[in-house]
Chain A
Amino acid sequence: MSNNKSTSVKLPKAAGRPLTRRITDHWQLYAMLFIPVALTVIYKYIPMYGIQIAFRDYKASRGFLGSEWVGLEWFRRFFSAPTFGRMMKNTILLSLFSLLWSFPIPIILALMLNQVRFQRFKRITQTVLYAPHFISVMVICGMIKIFLSPSGGLLNLIAGTSIDFLTESSAFRTIYIASGIWQDAGWGIIVYMATLSNVDTSLYEAAKVDGASMFQRILHIDVPALRSVMVLNLIMSAGGLMNVGFEKVWLLQTNLNKATSDVIAVYVYQQGIENAKYSYSTAVGLFNTIINIILLIAVNKTAGKISEDTSFI
């Protein structure tokens, strides 16, 4: 960060000028970056540095560095926690099933919607599909509770039953995934729609002249156009496989559905914030992150083989 004010007249960029000169020329831009950089250092990088409390017995009075080093003690404790196996299984299954359902649906929706020729209908459909994305998870969960209520909830009214779905651990994953699709599949089409809008329309014309049906046009023109975006999306979601949406699980969790709703993210919150077990919670969170990174790298490598022109970042 340079404080020297450049008083010289601005000259067109010249590659040959010394670095210090080029830096002082841009001092105003560095000044713009000052607050964002400071905030990022304080609230992003210092916490990263603070991850080391996962290997220490953190005491507030001693700070990140001064607390006693305990090595892998917290990790050992986590692996031997009675609910460890259940949490691992639930976390992985919940996100895996979510991914399997929520990945293809936006693609299918976008491919279909792209073929609709009535522009106004298409636009209205898009607007409505986006709507649930703009609603708070809290409100979504409130709606879920209302619709699934055993006494007079919409679902029970239609089915003529009085099941309390949120106490059934066998229903939890379905509730989580279905509501997730309802909320975000519509928003998920945006990237695909944007990509499809760039497809050269003369391709469709040519295909039509050749007698290709709508299905064939989708298969041979649209799907290839979407391939690299699809792979990128898949990589990103696979890298977040251990990041189960904490908010919804936590709000929909009841004592009776814990057999399937007990996930690592909720555990991190309960141990860390509610019980103030700072070091332990950080260790659990770190374990989660490490698995994510391994998955991200693995999927990126596999996907790189499938589609040469795509890699993440």
Chain B
Amino acid sequence: MQANAKTGKPSGLSERGSDIVLVVFCSIILFIVAYPLYYILIASVSDPYDVYAGKTFLLPSQFTLEGYKAVFADSNILTGLLNSFKYTIVGTIFSVVMLYLTAYPLSVRSMPGRKWLSIFFIITMYFGGGMVPTYLVVKQTGLINNMWSLFLPGGVGVGNMIIVRNFFENSIPKEMTEASEIDGASKWITFIRIVVPLSRSIMAVMVVFSMVAYWNDWFTSMIYLPSPSRAPLPLVLRNILIKSSASASQASTISGGFAELNRMTEMIKFSSIIIAAAPMLVIYPFVQKYFEKGFMAGAVKG
């Protein structure tokens, strides 16, 4: 493609013309995607009345960090934030370990029953018990209001598992694992010393996918963690963003009556959106270059 750019230059107006059209078009799309996020960012550091009066299309008005201060002073949001961190960290470690423990054996062609075990997992991609039977099993296994209800029922993410398995099959030379076993290493040692270090790129992608899934999840928590003290951030934000109600802890910390409370509620909306969205938006560009490779590896055998 780089070479194209060089040889393409003298080929006349039509090539250059279509280049310009393309760039303009892509820029419009960039704007459509990025502007809503930018608008919220601006709004989060502006006076909410100015936001709703249309004074913050491009730049903040009456710059203030009050919204962020209020978010961090709200005990409900803080609890949600801490819960979300906890669920994301534990869940990601658990899920990636499960992915690896499943994908590696299924990538070893000489293992008897490999095909049937693969089918056993893949079936769960297409068929499931549905919301209620799954809920009843989770309930019977005593996981209601237990953090593990977010991780265990998900078990193995089969779609991702197939991507990892295909990566093992295609990108880790069989000679290396065989040599290690001939040298007397057990299959576990081979797995930990050879396979895991050689698959760092796909692991990075899986870690990010898991983190995003757990950080953004609220539905599973809403069903399995009814206790408000266990709610993750997005579920706490439901009261603020969707129901537009100020939490009790907010009302007690704000002096200045109804108007001030209203103003704070609006400010918290903007700043909490930024706080909830920012961590994942900061992380994913670091593994972006592996996304396409990972998807390609997975697409070879869907």
Specify which chain B residues have a CB less than 8 angstroms from the CB of A10 in the assembled complex.
181-182, 184
Chain A at the B interface: SS class: helix
B288 touches A152 (CB 8 A): no
Specify which chain B residues have a CB less than 8 angstroms from the CB of A49 in the assembled complex.
129
Interface size class of B (residues with CB under 8 A): 35 or more
A251 touches B288 (CB 8 A): no
Q: How far is the CA of A20 from the CA of B117 in the complex (A)?
A: 17
If A273-B135, A282-B130 touch, whether A32 touches B101 (CB-CB below 8 Å) is: yes
B73-112 interface bits toward A, Cβ cutoff 8 Å, 1 = contact, 0 = none: 0000000000000000000000000100110111010111
Specify which chain B residues have a CB less than 8 angstroms from the CB of A197 in the assembled complex.
292
How many whole Å from A297's CB to the nearest CB in chain B?
11
A47 touches B40 (CB 8 A): no
Q: How far is the CA of A254 from the CA of B228 in the complex (A)?
A: 23
- Indicate which residue in A64, A138, A232 contacts B302 across the interface (CB closer than 8 Å): A232
Asked whether any CB of chain B lies closer than 8 Å to the CB of A154, the reply is: yes
- Indicate which residue in B112, B270, B288 contacts A23 across the interface (CB closer than 8 Å): B112
A152 touches B51 (CB 8 A): yes
Specify which chain A residues have a CB less than 8 angstroms from the CB of B215 in the assembled complex.
136
If A30-B105, A273-B135 touch, whether A44 touches B124 (CB-CB below 8 Å) is: yes
Specify which chain A residues have a CB less than 8 angstroms from the CB of B217 in the assembled complex.
136
If A42-B141, A117-B4 touch, whether A285 touches B33 (CB-CB below 8 Å) is: no
How many whole Å from B207's CB to the nearest CB in chain A?
14
Asked whether any CB of chain B lies closer than 8 Å to the CB of A206, the reply is: no
Q: How far is the CA of A42 from the CA of B136 in the complex (A)?
A: 11
Specify which chain A residues have a CB less than 8 angstroms from the CB of B98 in the assembled complex.
35-36, 39
Specify which chain A residues have a CB less than 8 angstroms from the CB of B2 in the assembled complex.
119
A26 touches B242 (CB 8 A): no
Asked whether any CB of chain A lies closer than 8 Å to the CB of B142, the reply is: no
Asked whether any CB of chain A lies closer than 8 Å to the CB of B34, the reply is: yes
Specify which chain A residues have a CB less than 8 angstroms from the CB of B244 in the assembled complex.
145
Interface size class of A (residues with CB under 8 A): 35 or more
A99-116 interface bits toward B, Cβ cutoff 8 Å, 1 = contact, 0 = none: 000000000010011011
- Indicate which residue in B25, B30, B218, B270 contacts A128 across the interface (CB closer than 8 Å): B30
A40 touches B299 (CB 8 A): no
- Indicate which residue in B112, B137, B223, B292 contacts A42 across the interface (CB closer than 8 Å): B137
How many whole Å from A208's CB to the nearest CB in chain B?
7
- Segment from B62-70, B251-259, B276-284 that makes contact with A: B276-284
Q: Which of B52, B121, B131, B244 has the most CB of A within 10 A?
A: B131
- Indicate which residue in A42, A135, A138 contacts B238 across the interface (CB closer than 8 Å): A138
Asked whether any CB of chain B lies closer than 8 Å to the CB of A201, the reply is: yes
B129 touches A50 (CB 8 A): yes
A201 touches B1 (CB 8 A): yes
Q: How far is the CA of A119 from the CA of B234 in the complex (A)?
A: 36
Specify which chain B residues have a CB less than 8 angstroms from the CB of A205 in the assembled complex.
4
If A44-B128, A50-B133, A289-B130 touch, whether A139 touches B234 (CB-CB below 8 Å) is: yes
Asked whether any CB of chain B lies closer than 8 Å to the CB of A4, the reply is: no
Q: How far is the CA of A119 from the CA of B181 in the complex (A)?
A: 44
Known contacts A22-B112, A139-B276, A194-B299; 20 additional CB pairs below 8 A are A26-B112, A28-B188, A32-B188, A36-B155, A47-B128, A47-B133, A53-B132, A116-B19, A116-B23, A117-B1, A127-B288, A130-B291, A131-B34, A134-B284, A138-B241, A139-B277, A154-B36, A272-B135, A285-B130, A285-B132
Question: Which residues of A does B touch, CB under 8 Å?
Answer: 9-10, 12-13, 19, 22-23, 26, 28-30, 32-33, 35-37, 39-40, 42-51, 53, 58, 60, 64, 109, 112-113, 115-119, 121, 124-132, 134-139, 141-143, 145-147, 149, 151-154, 157, 182, 186, 190-191, 193-195, 197-198, 201, 204-205, 208, 213-214, 229, 232, 246-247, 251, 268-269, 272-273, 278, 281-282, 285-286, 289, 312-313
**Between-chain CB contacts (< 8 Å), 18 pairs:** A12-B178, A12-B182, A29-B108, A32-B188, A39-B153, A40-B156, A43-B138, A45-B124, A115-B18, A119-B1, A127-B288, A130-B291, A136-B277, A142-B242, A153-B52, A186-B33, A289-B130, A312-B302
Please name the 8 residue pairs, one residue from A and one from B, whose CB atoms are nearest each other, closest first: A47-B129, A152-B52, A142-B241, A50-B133, A136-B216, A29-B105, A138-B234, A28-B187
